Amino acid sequence: MKKFKKSISETAGFSKRLLRLHDEFSRRYADSVNRHGGKLYFEDDEWDAFCRSRLTAWRETVGQPSILRRARMLELFAADAIVRIELDDLIVGSQKFCAFKFPPETLAELQRLGYSHNIGHIIHDYGSLLNHGVDGLIGRIRRCLQTAASEDEKTTLISFEKAMRAFARFIVRHAEAAEALCATLEGGKADEWREKSSELWHIASKVPRGFSEALQLVWFAQIFLHAENPSAAISYGRLDQLLWSFLEKDLASGVLSLTGANDLVGAFFIRCCEGEESQNLAVGGVDAAGNDAANPLSIIMLTVMRGLRLFQPSLTVRMHEGSSSELVEAACELAAVGTGQPGFVNDRAAVPALMELGIPIGRARDYGIVGCYEAAPQGDSYPLTVACGAPDLPLILIKFMHSALAREAETFRVFLDGWLSEVEREYQTILAEKGQTAWNHWRDTAPSPFGSVLIEGCVERALPLEAGGAVHNLFGVNILGLGTAVDSLHAIEDLVFNRKEIPLEALSTAVELDFPDEALRRQLLSVPGRYGTDSEATNQLASEISNRIARIVLNSRLENGVRPYPGFFRFTADISNHPYATPDGRRVKDNLSYGCGPASAAGATPTSALASAAHVAHQLCACGNPLAISLQEQDTRDKNGIKRVKVLVLGYFAQGGFHVHFNIHSGKVLRAAKADPENYQDLTIRISGFSAKFVKLPENMQDALIERSEKGV
């Protein structure tokens, strides 16, 4: 693959057509977000048509089973969605209806009519669609329908077939639009669009024959999945594995050049910037036998993203001991660009963590990344990776400090064990009262006929994915504030139990009042050995806490064998207003620690932060333990800078770390962008597990990213 990577970098750029597509996207994206606010790219007419078809479906189907109502919704979307094809398009079909909202009056009526949708955060089985085609999947459904054992099974399978036929109709409408465009053209352009129309007619029923058709079919599926569930983090999984055989054949036969391949990937990536903002796409990693699975398409995807500097899809590079130097180099070159792409995930942590859930090793090795950094087997799992936002470790600690057990503890060990028992009690209560209720709600109100066909097991079981039809049913548990909790416990151990300088009751009162005594707060902040400084005391504390809490989650169950699985993060909650100060000296207005990383006040360096975070229970936390590292632009400008990124990633993963991503913008640049957004429209940065335009972020997110940049975390 080394020779292939060299040929990409030396000979394969982008055509003028692709560059025009990119420029036009940039213009339209800026116009859309300026008109609508926020950071999502959508168009009003497409959104209006989407909302109308949804409301019509729910009005028409009152009293019918939920899954038939949702199949009807897809039929109307396929019939009524606005179809536009433009001359420079390489990938057709629009996701610019996906605004993640409805007009207030529409939403109110939909809710009265019983409308709901699931929360996304899933990787569908694009492979079965590519391998069997639309007609092949319909044939599978019809065979199962012949042996359906109950009326419920028949209803489910009928809805599956309706959804697939609606999907075919949606593709046909684009084929017809391409024919109509072709009729207005002459010469080479007419020939080109005649061929494109033929491709679209073909994939409306049959297996794709080449890379262009395969990539187009994946994009149509992505659009339809978002039409079914306008939710976040509907992710692609390992497209380099699924699509390489198509591209390899086309390159060998001369159907495509490297520039042509780059153009198609680039056009696909540009499409991914429509609507959704957290569609993950993983490259690299191992195959089912544990061998390196990276291929030339893995490199192409990284190289194209480096050239276009887009914020979608969110690329993740899976790393392992045998990762090729070409993949590692391409990934680090992309990281050094400074857009926050890609994220890095360690197979040596993710695979064992998935096996803790009873997932066989071959399937665990075929994991993709959902949304930001959450691992799940692709195509046969229903992971719900952000379903349960609990527990909040700092909040539980603050409440525990007021308890009789805490006040009566004579040693820190008794105090720590008591707090961990309270964490378990709080978690079990939330799981029983809210977790099972949420799972049941999605099962009863939001079955997905199209999405279920694209999850292995659902057709054969005649069960929607929301009802347990998938092979692996998981339930993400997002644990907030690990670093802040470690520092707080460390301060309590040092000042309350060891040196006995502060009574626990006095510390509790100070925290509750947000530190009216600044001297006390500074005393807490000055406790040596904070988490992130590679101190043995806090490293071991982080290890014990994370292992015990992860085991609490892994030992729990929902009904029907659904497996909760832990990750030490809660998306953007670290920069939301937390109701209390914390015993580490953090004020209410200050951010909590992010992911499994240290608090920004810890005084960590990138190297020490990585060393501390390596002690977290990564091999138990398949739902993701993110770590962000901020570097300065001057540190990554040349080959030595790229080497530095490589050393940090490989060093952390050799110690067992799960995930890391980099932001490479100085605090000075970010402050300038905040003050003068017009001159920094293209500044892209990593928020959590995905990248976005910095100037379009809410102010609290901008401030948090500035602080992280200045502190190095």
Condensed to tens digits (0 to 9), the pLDDT of residues 28-50 reads 999 998 999 888 899 999 999 99
**Does 664 reside within a domain?**
no
Structure tokens belonging to residue 289: 């036998």
Domains identified in the chain, total number? 2
Q: Do 422 and 391 meet the contact criterion of CB atoms below 8 Å apart?
A: no
Listed residues 599, 626, 653: the one ending a domain: 626
Residue 519 identity = A
**What pLDDT score does 214 carry?**
99
Residue stretches of the chain with pLDDT short of 50: 4-11
**What pLDDT score does 4 carry?**
46
Distance from C-alpha of 439 to C-alpha of 39, rounded to nearest angstrom: 29
**Does 367 reside within a domain?**
no
Spatial neighbors of 12 by CB under 8 A, at least 6 apart, are 257, 258, 259, 261, 262
How many Cβ atoms are within 10 Å of 207's Cβ, its own excluded? 17
Q: Give the three-state DSSP class for 464.
A: coil
Distance from C-alpha of 631 to C-alpha of 602, rounded to nearest angstrom: 16
pLDDT tens digit sequence for 574-623: 776 788 999 999 999 999 999 999 998 777 899 999 999 999 999 999 99
**Does 600 reside within a domain?**
yes
Q: Which helix (H) or strand (E) holds 50?
A: helix 44-60
Q: Give the three-state DSSP class for 289.
A: coil
**What pLDDT score does 410 carry?**
97
Closest CA to 446 of 159, 93, 666, 663: 159
- Which residue range(s) make up the domain with 458? 393-626
Distance from C-alpha of 458 to C-alpha of 164, rounded to nearest angstrom: 14
pLDDT tens digit sequence for 392-433: 999 999 999 999 999 999 999 999 999 999 999 999 999 998
**What pLDDT score does 576 carry?**
67
Residue 302 identity = L
Listed residues 587, 608, 626: the one ending a domain: 626
**DSSP codes of every residue in 386-437:** TSB---BHHHHHHHHHTSHHHHH-SSHHHHHHHHHHHHHHHHHHHIIIIIHH
Distance from C-alpha of 170 to C-alpha of 637, rounded to nearest angstrom: 46
**Does 223 reside within a domain?**
yes
**What pLDDT score does 8 carry?**
46
Model pTM score: 0.94
Buried b (16+ CB within 10 A) or exposed e, 623-639: bbbbbbbbbbeeebeee
Listed residues 626, 657, 686: the one ending a domain: 626
**Does 112 reside within a domain?**
yes
Angle at alpha carbon of residue 279, lines to 276 and 282, rounded to 5°: 165
Q: How far is CA 593 from CA 175, 277, 637, in A?
A: 50, 23, 29
Placement of tokens 């530095």 in the chain: 644
Q: Do 630 and 712 meet the contact criterion of CB atoms below 8 Å apart?
A: yes
Distance from C-alpha of 275 to C-alpha of 293, rounded to nearest angstrom: 31
Q: How far is CA 315 from CA 183, 240, 702, in A?
A: 38, 11, 22
**What pLDDT score does 12 carry?**
52
Q: What share of the chain is helix, strand, coil (3-state, %, to 5)?
A: 60, 10, 35
**Does 441 reside within a domain?**
yes
Torsion of CA 277, 278, 283, 285, to 10 degrees: 170
